[in-house]
């Protein structure tokens, strides 16, 4: 478990750096993360990454008008799936799914079809149960990362 938590921390640092550059990654998933020869986590495949510009800013929501349905739906934030404005907090949701999977040794949403994902995760706010034996701070990070409200992530 310690190694998974360390990887999650390093991944969060990479995300923080990406977001500090006014970029949203939009495709966090296991296939886009790997390790270099030193064992450091790396994100690759920036094909969906998007610069957050003033032109894309949606003042009422405080988010950005970006292409909907970008990324892989089992890791996609509800607002992205629903075609609503979004921003860096959508990456936080994807991060939360990935961390949940690393610590539970199974996929969170892969068993759902795209339609079911929309019904269950997006509209009904289903989240997989978090193992109560995980440290409190880790459970909190996962829970807050998977919050349906992008402003609370």
Per-residue confidence (pLDDT) for residue 62, from 0 to 100? 84
Backbone conformation region of residue 148, classed left if phi is above 0, alpha if psi is from -120 to 50, else beta: alpha
Asked if 27 is an active-site residue, the reply is yes
Per-residue confidence (pLDDT) for residue 58, from 0 to 100? 86
Give this prediction's pTM: 0.93
Predicted confidence (pLDDT) per residue in 46-100, tens digit: 999 999 999 999 888 888 999 889 999 999 999 999 999 999 999 999 999 999 9
Q: Which of 10, 27, 91, 116 is catalytic?
A: 27
Question: Minimal CA–CA distance to 149: which of 131, 125, 114?
Answer: 125
Question: Minimal CA–CA distance to 99: which of 36, 49, 41?
Answer: 41
DSSP 146: T
User: Could you tell me the two tokens for 37?
Assistant: 């020869």
Domains in the chain with CATH codes: 2-146 (1.10.510.10)
3-state secondary structure of 98: helix
């Amino acid at each position: 478990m310690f190694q998974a938590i360390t990887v999650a921390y390093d991944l969060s640092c990479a995300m923080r750096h990406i977001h500090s550059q006014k970029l949203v990654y939009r495709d966090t998933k296991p296939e886009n993360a790997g390790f270099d020869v030193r064992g450091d986590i790396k994100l690759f495949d920036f094909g969906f990454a998007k610069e957050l510009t003033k032109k894309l800013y949606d003042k009422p929501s405080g988010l950005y008008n970006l292409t909907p349905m970008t990324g892989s739906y089992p890791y996609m934030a509800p607002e992205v799936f629903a075609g609503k404005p979004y921003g860096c907090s959508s990456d936080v949701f994807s991060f939360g799914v990935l961390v949940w999977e690393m610590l539970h040794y199974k996929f969170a949403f892969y068993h759902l079809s795209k339609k079911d994902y929309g019904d269950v995760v997006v509209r009904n706010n289903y989240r997989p149960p978090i193992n109560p034996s995980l440290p409190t701070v880790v459970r909190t990070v996962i829970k807050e990362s998977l919050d349906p409200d992008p402003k609370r992530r």
